[in-house]
């Protein structure tokens, strides 16, 4: 779907009046090809920015008032708040994301000396796990940076987004989603080492294949508390390993080293979590090598192995995404398929030969409906650029 920015502009003027120019911006959602739950374990990730995301229009005000409106939450109307009241609250719903970014700017010494009117519109399906919140955070950061003239790099905007999500929204996420939204590059995935934020762009040249995202259309509750539990379990495993080996993160270990030292982790659950983090990091490194040498078959096999590890060891998959992956593995022409993102529902990502795309969609749609009663959705996606101004 293409979004008409002029229509957003008209809506902005209808809501807030025509006086003064408003500027338009976009920040994308992301899909992670491989490297799941490694970003808070000092490992590698391999996400790419999508062409869907969040649009934002902004105009500064002369007072300290903030007016926020989302075309995705029309019923909530215009939400008014003030720069002097940047505290999270359940009632504030989605506005906790932009407010959190403003709070983080202030905390970091980027003083916002006037209020603003903002309109948002997002075309990422709600609850799909394609990082609508990270895109909203990065977008807000970019709009503030430009409106107030701060000198902040795109990487720092990603870090501001993560800080805000951790400390204002209470979700202890890693850096992957905000980094992909801020730093994405058309037709490339980002090979990011989360231990030091070194990154390289890897062209995703799939001459005979497409990337398909399948939305399970389920989102199990308590996602953020289950996510935070995984993070705590990984940290407990790291602490246990540090009693026998000198490492800073789980990403420092090879598979062989993990096997050598794993008995130091007495809790079997924590041991499984650490196994996933170590093996998934190595899989990600191998997957990027495979892509570089055009070994797409190997790339696909590593994607499948990632799903199995998330299903059995990290336990962030769920029945519905397991069904989608298992169905995909049976379709001829599917090179790889796995759950993507934080988990407990959301989407799978599959690499599918071009000639099999229709068969893939038809087969999964029908069989998933039969097994779960739920209608899945499919997006044959392109890889887009990171956050940017639109005019």
Among residues 177 and 233, whose Cβ is nearest to ligand GLA? Answer: 177
Give the gyration radius of the chain's Cα atoms: 21
Work out which of 26, 98, 144, 177 binds ligand GLA, going by CB under 6 A.
Answer: 177
Given its phi and psi angles, is residue 368 left (phi above 0), alpha (psi -120 to 50 degrees) or beta? alpha
CB 101 within 8 A of CB 140: yes
Minimum CB distance to ligand GLA smaller for 112 or for 180: 180
Q: Is 176 in the site for ligand GLA (CB under 6 A)?
A: yes
Q: How many CB atoms lie within 10 A of CB 221?
A: 9
Q: Which stretch binds ligand GLA (CB under 6 A): 170-178, 195-203, 249-257, 367-375?
A: 170-178
Among 39, 117, 177, 193, the active-site one is 177
Tell which positions 307-366 bind ligand GLA, by CB under 6 A: 341-342
Q: How far is the CB of 67 from ligand GLA (least distance, A)?
A: 28
* Segment 258 to 287, residues that bind ligand GLA, using CB under 6 A: none
Residue 176: CB minimum distance to ligand GLA, A: 4
- Nearest approach, Cβ of residue 354 and ligand GLA (Å): 28
Minimum Å gap between C-beta 231 and ligand GLA is: 8
Q: Between residue 34 and residue 63, which ones bind ligand GLA under the rule CB under 6 A?
A: 36-37, 39-40
Instruction: Judge contact between 120 and 70, C-beta under 8 A.
Output: yes
289 vs 35, 293, 312, CA distance in Å? 14, 6, 25
Sort strands 65-70 and 47-60 into parallel, antiparallel or unpaired. Answer: unpaired
DSSP lists the bridge partners of residue 28 as 53
**Residue 37: CB minimum distance to ligand GLA, A:** 4
Counting beta carbons within 10 angstroms of the beta carbon of residue 371, is it exposed (0 to 12), middle (13 to 18) or buried (19 or more)? middle
Beta partners for residue 377, in sequence order? 215
Contact between 233 and ligand GLA (CB under 6 A)? no
The reply to whether 27 sits near ligand GLA by the rule CB under 6 A is no
The verdict on whether 382 is a catalytic residue reads no
**Residue range at the interface with ligand GLA (CB under 6 A); choices 29-37, 197-205, 254-262, 317-325:** 29-37
- Residues in contact with 363: Cβ distance below 8 Å, sequence separation at least 6, in sequence order: 327, 330, 331
* H or E element, residue 351: strand 345-353
Closest contact distance (angstroms) between CB of 307 and ligand GLA is 13
Contact status: 98 vs ligand GLA (CB under 6 A): no
| Residue whose CB is less far from ligand GLA, 141 or 342 | 342
CA atoms within 13 A on the CB side of 219: 13
Nearer to ligand GLA, 281 or 356 (CB): 281
Q: Which of 57, 173, 211, 241 binds ligand GLA (CB under 6 A)?
A: 173
Minimum CB distance to ligand GLA smaller for 115 or for 125: 125
Indicate the Cα dihedral angle 329, 284, 54, 183, nearest 10°.
-150
Cβ-based nearer residue to ligand GLA, 35 or 115: 35
- Interacting residues of 212 by C-beta distance below 8 A, sequence separation 6+: 349, 350, 351, 352, 357, 360, 361, 378, 379, 380, 381
Q: Interface residues with ligand GLA (CB under 6 A)? A: 32, 36-37, 39-40, 173-174, 176-177, 341-342
Give catalytic residue positions. Answer: 177
């Amino acid at each position: 779907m293409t979004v008409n920015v002029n229509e957003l502009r008209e809506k902005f003027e209808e809501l807030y009046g025509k006086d003064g120019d408003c500027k338009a911006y976009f920040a994308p959602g992301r899909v992670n090809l491989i490297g799941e739950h490694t970003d808070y374990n000092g490992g590698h990730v391999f996400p790419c920015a999508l062409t869907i995301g969040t649009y934002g229009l902004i105009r500064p005000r002369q007072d300290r008032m903030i007016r926020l409106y989302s075309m995705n939450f029309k019923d909530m109307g215009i939400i008014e708040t003030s720069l002097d009241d940047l505290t999270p609250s359940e009632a504030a719903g989605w506005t906790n994301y932009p407010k959190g970014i403003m709070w983080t700017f202030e905390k970091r010494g980027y003083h916002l000396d006037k209020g603003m009117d903002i309109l948002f519109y997002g075309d990422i399906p709600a609850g799909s796990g394609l990082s609508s919140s990270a895109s909203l955070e990065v977008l807000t950061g970019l709009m503030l940076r430009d409106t107030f003239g701060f000198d902040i790099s795109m990487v720092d905007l990603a870090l501001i987004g993560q800080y805000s999500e951790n400390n204002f929204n209470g979700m202890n996420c890693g850096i992957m989603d905000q980094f992909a939204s801020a730093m994405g590059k058309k037709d490339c995935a980002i090979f990011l080492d989360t231990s030091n934020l070194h990154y390289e762009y890897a062209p995703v040249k799939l001459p005979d294949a497409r990337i398909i995202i399948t939305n399970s259309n389920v989102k199990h509750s308590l996602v953020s508390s289950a996510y935070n539990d995984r993070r705590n379990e990984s940290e407990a495993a790291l602490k246990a390993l540090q009693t026998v080996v000198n490492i800073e993160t789980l990403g420092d270990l090879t598979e062989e080293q993990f096997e050598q030292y794993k008995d130091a982790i007495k809790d079997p659950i924590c041991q499984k979590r650490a196994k996933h983090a170590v093996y998934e990091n190595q899989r990600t490194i191998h997957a990027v090598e495979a892509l570089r040498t055009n070994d797409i078959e190997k790339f696909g096999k590593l994607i499948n192995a990632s799903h199995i590890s998330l299903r059995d060891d990290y336990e962030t998959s769920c029945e519905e995404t397991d069904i989608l992956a298992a169905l995909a593995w049976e379709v001829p022409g599917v090179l790889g398929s796995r759950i993507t993102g934080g988990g407990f529902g959301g989407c799978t990502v599959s690499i599918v030969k071009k000639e099999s795309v229709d068969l893939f969609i038809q087969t999964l749609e029908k069989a998933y409906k039969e097994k779960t009663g739920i209608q899945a959705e499919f997006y044959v996606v392109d890889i887009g650029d990171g956050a940017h101004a639109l005019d």
